Structure 1
């Protein structure tokens, strides 16, 4: 499953990889024909009533393994910054993810400290290398987080991702990028498949395909869309209305199709 996952990454014909947030959403998305899914740190944390960043390594790995079993598809696990301060702990995270049967996972260069959010480039590269050496057959996505933390520095982002590919990363990712020309430049300047996160006001799928993107994800957007439906139904109830029954059909039908047999 792991090698099959990497083969799905085709620049110009990107893998659409939605982010599931629980076993039910994973089953529904799998039944709709998606070839692979991802977890979402923000979405999973929300299902636990927590903020993004408040999930442990063991919880994240167990969650990704559960989604793998539920969907029967390759799952790309959002493993944040490896949940680790040391290189030894970085290695432990990715060895554990591989042992759990997870096809793929990510490592980011976020320090966990919003006052000083990004590891220096050399340290970040060593962390990627430690993950690569421990990951076995797991497909590793290395993430440069500049654009999520008000550091819209394309040159530094490209340099970081080039270092990460030299350290052995299989896929590259700079979440937060919205400018299509910058995304196209990034795709030209690296030699690994590039993932892009869809964002409001950013490029659409067809534009990203033309720019050479190989994989597209949605982050926590599907989970928060689901919560929007929950709020809408709850507002109906508070108003004394049962209008929410009128919206049950598509969701219930999708779940029934996904779980039949």
Structure 2
């Protein structure tokens, strides 16, 4: 199974040409399921579904979250800043939670991630992924909570960061998904940013599947770094994250 998450930047910058860039990035990755954040409205959703040619989709307009899938979406659940969907692959039930946490308050982030994990804790499934734009880095309480390295509000979670796992097994570096030095949002559309530090804000994480066996992580990568000659921009201010797993 090939999964991706991509914040497509709800901004008029470079539009409508940039929408074609976004579509090209999604299509070129050839993913089974793509979780998108910052999908502006129904019109944008309709264009993405039409042009990316995925047979199944689920949209949560209030949160700007869209899931595109080659597998039938068997059910969905709207949560604060998140959209959960269920699919089946190789006779295994899989829940994917597409998230876009608020950017403006770590307290909101903590409250939100606790509610998301608590409300999905008892869902019966073989595998559960949480993926998206978490608006915080590996140094945050949100990340440590999801990694089972600290509790929040008397609650706990147990997810694995697939980028971290792939970096270890391949001996490669982990690339930031919000890159203030290289992404031309800063320097073309906006003034060059000399203060904020590039970070990895976009994650694909797998909940500990016990008693199910771990899937095999085959690939991990980022996409969306190509810069258009027409717009002078990358398709988004975030880079996408993609993984391939074998169940």
Whether the TM-score (by the shorter chain) exceeds 0.5 is no
Task: State the TM-score, normalized to the length of structure 2.
Answer: 0.38
Task: State the TM-score, normalized to the length of structure 1.
Answer: 0.37
**Which has the higher Rg, Structure 1 or Structure 2?**
1
Structure with greater helix percent: 1
Structure with greater strand percent: 2
